[in-house]
Amino acid sequence: MQVLNTIDAVREWRAGSESVGLVPTMGNLHAGHLALVAAARERCDRVIASIFVNPLQFGPNEDLATYPRTFDADRAALAHAGADAVFVPSVDEMYPEGGSATTVDVSGITEMLCGRSRPGHFRGVATVVNKLFNIVQPDAAFFGEKDYQQLAVIKRMVADLCMDVAVEGVPTVRDADGLAYSSRNNYLDNAQRRQALALSAAIADVVERLAAGQRDFRALEARGWAQLVDGGFDPDYFEIRAADLGPAERDTSSFRVLAAGHLGRTRLIDNMGVSV
């Protein structure tokens, strides 16, 4: 597997007619990331992952400085998973002027859910993904459904800007006890790791009730919120939405239940879908 550190090196690697799949990551890889590589491997002739802790998507009080950086382990995992190359740029390579005067805002879909408590986050996500698409020119790019709002933002950006790349969502990968894999799970101590199960459990409970025909959305959201509190979370949100993240209606046929909350300093997110 090739390790590429510059934009020019990626473009030289990309030259040719074979189809290329891109897996953007911030590193500290887990089974969820490797599922993206496997999906790209099935779809495309060649697979490139990126590892870049993007400062543009972190707020002033977030964990940019302490975000886990585990390149040696990540490189070994990607090679084992069948990636052909990994792009590991420096901040100066991605933002040579010290930042980005040009940014990408995807309005409407970014002000809700995580966007409410993380202003500017999705601007940073959309900007860096746009840059990665321009650098790599992938035929397809693969994102996990655990970050469901992010996936929706990227799909909307690609559609609005007429970008010639297929954006593929890959189902959330969970540990045996139901907790969604996340790089931030590493921040949890043993007690918090047990408490974290309340997140997926609360979502699954509401999904089950939606499947059974319950449609009092506010009551169901309040129920999920209370379950998070009882489980030790400081909830950020617990919402029922349509699959496209529009408002849930009584005649909606495909729902998404999304939640986020803090355990100590660690913010976790999760979601599940249900069709009725």
Q: What residues are labeled active site?
A: 33
Strands 266-275 and 254-263, bridge-based pairing: antiparallel
The tokens for 169 are 């969502």
**Binding residue ranges for ATP:** 26-33, 144-147, 173, 181-184
For 242-267, b where at least 16 C-beta lie within 10 A, e where not — what string? Answer: ebebeebeeebeebbbbbbbebeebb
Q: CA triplet 207, 258, 61: central angle to 5 degrees?
A: 155
Binding-site residues:
26-33, 57, 144-147, 150, 173, 181-184
CA distances from 153 to 104, 106, 110, 126 (A): 11, 7, 7, 7
Closest C-alpha among 177, 148, 151 to residue 269 = 148
Q: How far apart are CA 136 and CA 92, in angstroms?
A: 18
Q: What is the CA radius of gyration of the chain?
A: 19
Q: What is the DSSP letter of 247?
A: B
**Pair 140, 44: CB distance under 8 Å:** yes
Q: Provide the annotated binding site for (R)-pantoate.
A: 57, 150
Instruction: Give the number of other CB atoms < 10 A from CB of residue 18.
Output: 11
- Which residues line the annotated binding site for beta-alanine? 57
Q: Which residues contact 272 (CB under 8 A, 6 or more apart)?
A: 172, 200, 203, 204, 207, 256, 257
Reading the block at residue 185, the tokens are: 């799970």
Structure tokens, 96: 């040579």
Q: Note whether 230 and 198 are within 8 A (CB).
A: yes
